[in-house]
Structure 1
Amino acid sequence: MERWKTREVMVGSVGVGGDNPVRIQSMTTSDTRDVRATADQVMRLADAGCEIVRVTVQGKKEAESCEAIKEDLLARGYTIPLVADIHFYPPAAMLAAQYVDKIRINPGNFVDRRASFQVFEYDDAAYALELEKIEEQFAPLVQLCKRLKRAMRIGTNHGSLSDRIMNRYGDNPRGMCESAFEFARVCRKYDYHDFVFSMKSSNPVVMIEAYRLLVDEMKKMGWNYPLHLGVTEAGEGEDGRIKSAIGIGTLLHEGLGDTVRVSLTEDPWSEIDPCKRLVRWAEKQQVLPPIVLREKVALKEGLHPQGTVLLKGESLEELEGVLKLAQKKAKDTPDCVWVEEVSEEIEPVIKDLIEAGVGILSQTPYPKALPLSKEPLDIPYVLWMQEPTSLPEKRPEWIVFQPKGSFAAQTRALVSAVKESDLPIVLAASYSCEAEDLCIHAGAEIGACLIDKLVQGICLLGIAPVDQRRQLSFNLLQAARMRTSKTEYISCPGCGRTLFDLQEVSRRIRGKTAHLPGVKIAVMGCIVNGPGEMADADFGYVGSKTGKVDLYVGKECFEKNIDFADADERLIQLIKDHGKWKEPEYHET
């Protein structure tokens, strides 16, 4: 793939941007003051294929530990670059820069106080004074990094924008970009250019929009700084991988991105395999053509207004499985089933499915089923297309598009060809890859179509079991913020700031709340991104100090310093108090 050509920035001995390959990054979860534990994690990451590792640096003790960590690594033959992660405390950056290869600063909290989400009015003169304050505190670090030849990442997080930025530009991708540009302009004023941008959010839609806007604005200004890609607080398991694949994969497919991190609430080295799979996939792709968007799309019979799941049923057993879900009114019941023909064996189940409200798409005529045809029909029908061509004169009800080439590229071409129509498109994508690749490839390819609303539904085909294809379809729609079928979780990957066993707490809360479709719960190890990222969640569980947890409703802290042992039940009570709780009846599969 031919990526957007950025300037090269050296992070230690590792080149980022320019002609270098996409680099893989991760972050330790150990206490940075524990030198041996942190060095061990860095080595394990390097052995797994990680190329750049970040460590959390809250204060001077952690910054001083970076020297010993670096020495320990070099003594054991590891030259992998280290990055110091700085929030709230600029002096730690000045000290850490003596020892590490790169400094990550968050423009939302390097100078500004933690956001209180209050409305403030700044006239131009007052705002200019705030910018002077940024330069006053940030310029010494810029000059130090320039002198020591250290790299820097100006890493905006959607969850930690300052009140000043949100009041002037908004709590949105524009605000994210402007927050970073304020710091970048200081770098450029001092002729320092060894920096990288990132625009992270737990919402892949916001993340993609922010990076696209960032690049558009950079091109206008003649800038070409490298991009580090990531979806923050993506979660764990398949959900975390799908969110990351949608966000990172869409941008890589557009030729954007020089380093990546798949942030998971798992052990750090678990992030490397999905990173590798994503980068390998991207290397085989062609850069996507420009997007053509349609003004409106009609809602048609058999389709769900928030995104349709079409399931191809191959056997009686598979159809009976769908019927059981439909009869239970499960949230993850397919909206429509595609069969080649309604044989005598499956006809009773087909009738029951129709009675239960599931649409039927059949390649052969059957009463109450919509015919699926590659040729125009004189009766209402669904057009089965495999090439991005114009529509026939006899218009179908909707389109099932099963492209032979790149799903995302071919879908963009189809939307361009039918842009004057309002016909819904269901993307049928077939995969024969191994299970570990499936959610990565589908997230990157189908997610790129869902994010921009190019398609109104999906039908996964291929060798994966039917239940896996069904569940993955719903997970893709949920990750793309189209349709909710289960509880949504926002959870950070953990770092040296984390105040409890994040993986265990996340598993425990999931086990108690997984039956609440439509509810979003954030589980955050510390306060760095907590309140901001929880603006996108209904409820939040945030480590506040050792053994204590704060509970949030939206961005408002409802209960402070709850004992860790009581926090789960207090969270459940909070959900009940706000009318979002229901007792579990059955476990949806």
Structure 2
Amino acid sequence: MQTLPNAPQTASTLDSHPIETAIRRRKTRPVKVGNITIGGGYPVVVQSMINEDTMDVEGSVAAIRRLHEIGCEIVRVTVPSLSHAKTLGDIKQRLIDTYQDVPLVADVHHNGMKIALEVAKHVDKVRINPGLYVFEKPKADGGEYTQAEFDQIGDKIRATLEPLVVSLREQGKAMRIGVNHGSLAERMLFTYGDTPEGMVESALEFIKICESLDFRNIVISLKASRVPVMIAAYRLMVRRMDQLGMDYPLHLGVTEAGDGEYGRIKSTAGIGTLLADGIGDTIRVSLTEAPEKEIPVCYSILQALGLRKTMVEYVACPSCGRTLFNLEEVLHRVREATQHLTGLDIAVMGCIVNGPGEMADADYGYVGKQPGYISLYRGREEIKKVPESQGVEELIDLIKADGRWIDP
């Protein structure tokens, strides 16, 4: 269940000017997606997408459930054909009957009006790609688009988009206008180039059609596989929305980030940079791995930035010549014993020089004070000194004594 976070606190000042130590998020309108709200000050929402063929009802239901059970709050599925779209009704009902009503998003791409209208009956949000939703045949002469030609295509887009907008509006459902850097429409490429400007103008064209139809349950994304392009597009989108008085929430992601360590670093560089600016209301880390591998990365990004707390925060020094025990080994043992807990800060510090000061904000501390012994702290208070061999066990006992322990 979502709860509104506390307002950011001002932790210190410099020459009477406040210095923020918490991220102050951009104000956006709330958009309901099933039982989850994106924007409106609610916690940043975690999303992912299943790999299963949507025609496989049982396989899709199992995949959605696996993601939801580990913390994925909204799940996206692909619908490449009308047959896939119709099957979504069975998937949704099967989830309700055997598990729960998980918020679902349908991914609609090429010439998508018929597919989109069908999936709108079954899911909580429809994602469309402005560059592919209406097919734009390249100009035969390769020349510039006249204003009349530009407007003519715009009218075709409106006619194709309007039935979907009306359907979603009447059902109280949501739309994601999901622009991809690699699939901009022909006239946007010709007019603006393969640029963040083209991405933003593509999104704005669709937003304005939605607004003219009194529909504002909209989430925007502007994804790119190159981090600098992705960051520039979102920052420009925010600037343009501010100029136009728009407050739509943003879905962040680096598309096609790859796999392994670099895929995670690349996603963190793009998503984390924008979140630190206060930009972003929902995220997806797109890895070339099992979707379940994406969720821990999302939560790690959010936790590192102080936007959500879903696991233990470990504070540990990098080790040096003063360290009085095998810090890496001890940190591993502490983590193994406590990683199932939620919301605690636990510090593991190698010596007394940095220990109490560097871990001052931690709930509990494990500090080397003399060879063979460690000191346990509750906050800034030293509670006891125990043999190193008993350190982890004594730490657990201390957490239990405070009533903050739960069995794994």
Fold equivalence (TM over 0.5):
yes
Q: Equivalent residue for 1:243? A: 266
Looking at structure 2, the residues matched to 274 and 166 of structure 1 have their Cα atoms a distance apart, in angstroms, of 33
Q: Is the 8 A contact 1:83 1:104 kept in 2?
A: yes
Tell me, what secondary structure is at the counterpart of 1:25?
A: strand
Amino acid at match of 2:44: V
Q: How does 1:347-366 map to 2 (within 5 A)?
A: none
Q: Equivalent residue for 2:49? A: 27
RMSD: 2.5
* Post-superposition CA distance 1:113-138 (Å, at most 9, x none): 48799944111111111111110111
Task: Describe the shift of the 1:250–1:119 C-alpha distance in structure 2 as closer, same or farther (beyond 3 A).
Answer: farther
Whether 1:203 aligns to 2:204 is no
Tell me, what secondary structure is at the counterpart of 1:223?
A: coil
Amino acid at match of 2:109: H
**Equivalent residue pairs, number:** 294
Consecutive unaligned residues in structure 2, runs of 5 or more: 1-22, 309-317, 322-330, 333-348, 351-408
Consecutive unaligned residues in structure 1, runs of 5 or more: 286-311, 316-432, 435-461, 464-589
Looking at structure 2, the residues matched to 118 and 57 of structure 1 have their Cα atoms a distance apart, in angstroms, of 34
Q: Equivalent residue for 2:184? A: 161
Q: Equivalent residue for 2:198? A: 175
Whether 1:69 aligns to 2:100 is no
Tell me, what secondary structure is at the counterpart of 1:54?
A: strand
Task: Describe the shift of the 1:230–1:114 C-alpha distance in structure 2 as closer, same or farther (beyond 3 A).
Answer: farther
Whether 1:272 aligns to 2:325 is no
1:81 aligned to which of 103, 106, 119: 103
Looking at structure 1, the residues matched to 83 and 93 of structure 2 have their Cα atoms a distance apart, in angstroms, of 16
Task: Describe the shift of the 1:227–1:282 C-alpha distance in structure 2 as closer, same or farther (beyond 3 A).
Answer: same
Amino acid at match of 1:237: G
TM-score, normalised to structure 1, is 0.48
Looking at structure 1, the residues matched to 255 and 228 of structure 2 have their Cα atoms a distance apart, in angstroms, of 12
Q: Is the 8 A contact 2:165 2:215 kept in 1?
A: yes
Whether 1:96 aligns to 2:119 is yes
Q: How does 1:290-309 map to 2 (within 5 A)?
A: none
Deviation of 1:77 (Å): 2.5
Amino acid at match of 1:74: I
Amino acid at match of 2:242: K
Q: Is the 8 A contact 1:114 1:162 kept in 2?
A: no
Task: Describe the shift of the 1:122–1:284 C-alpha distance in structure 2 as closer, same or farther (beyond 3 A).
Answer: closer
1:47 aligned to which of 59, 69, 82: 69
Looking at structure 1, the residues matched to 141 and 298 of structure 2 have their Cα atoms a distance apart, in angstroms, of 38
Whether 1:56 aligns to 2:78 is yes
Q: Equivalent residue for 1:575? A: none
Deviation of 1:80 (Å): 1.5
Q: Is the 8 A contact 1:115 1:161 kept in 2?
A: no
Q: How does 1:197-236 map to 2 (within 5 A)?
A: 197-236=220-259
Looking at structure 1, the residues matched to 170 and 307 of structure 2 have their Cα atoms a distance apart, in angstroms, of 39
* Post-superposition CA distance 1:31-79 (Å, at most 9, x none): 0000110110000000110000000001111101100000110011322
Task: Describe the shift of the 1:107–1:115 C-alpha distance in structure 2 as closer, same or farther (beyond 3 A).
Answer: farther
Task: Describe the shift of the 1:116–1:265 C-alpha distance in structure 2 as closer, same or farther (beyond 3 A).
Answer: farther
Amino acid at match of 1:205: P
Task: Describe the shift of the 1:131–1:116 C-alpha distance in structure 2 as closer, same or farther (beyond 3 A).
Answer: closer
1:192 aligned to which of 184, 209, 215: 215
Amino acid at match of 2:66: R
Amino acid at match of 2:97: A
Looking at structure 1, the residues matched to 271 and 282 of structure 2 have their Cα atoms a distance apart, in angstroms, of 10
* Post-superposition CA distance 1:92-117 (Å, at most 9, x none): 00000000000000000001348799
* Post-superposition CA distance 1:337-390 (Å, at most 9, x none): xxxxxxxxxxxxxxxxxxxxxxxxxxxxxxxxxxxxxxxxxxxxxxxxxxxxxx
Amino acid at match of 1:193: R
Looking at structure 2, the residues matched to 259 and 271 of structure 1 have their Cα atoms a distance apart, in angstroms, of 14
**Percent identity at matched positions?**
46
Task: Describe the shift of the 1:228–1:115 C-alpha distance in structure 2 as closer, same or farther (beyond 3 A).
Answer: farther
Tell me, what secondary structure is at the counterpart of 2:176?
A: strand
Q: Is the 8 A contact 1:200 1:207 kept in 2?
A: yes
Q: Equivalent residue for 2:304? A: 281
Amino acid at match of 1:248: I
Tell me, what secondary structure is at the counterpart of 1:141?
A: helix
Q: How does 1:498-577 map to 2 (within 5 A)?
A: none
Amino acid at match of 1:18: G
Q: Equivalent residue for 2:39? A: 17
Q: Equivalent residue for 1:121? A: 144
Deviation of 1:21 (Å): 0.3
TM-score, normalised to structure 2, is 0.69
Looking at structure 2, the residues matched to 180 and 91 of structure 1 have their Cα atoms a distance apart, in angstroms, of 21
* Post-superposition CA distance 1:303-355 (Å, at most 9, x none): xxxxxxxxx9x99xxxxxxxxxxxxxxxxxxxxxxxxxxxxxxxxxxxxxxxx
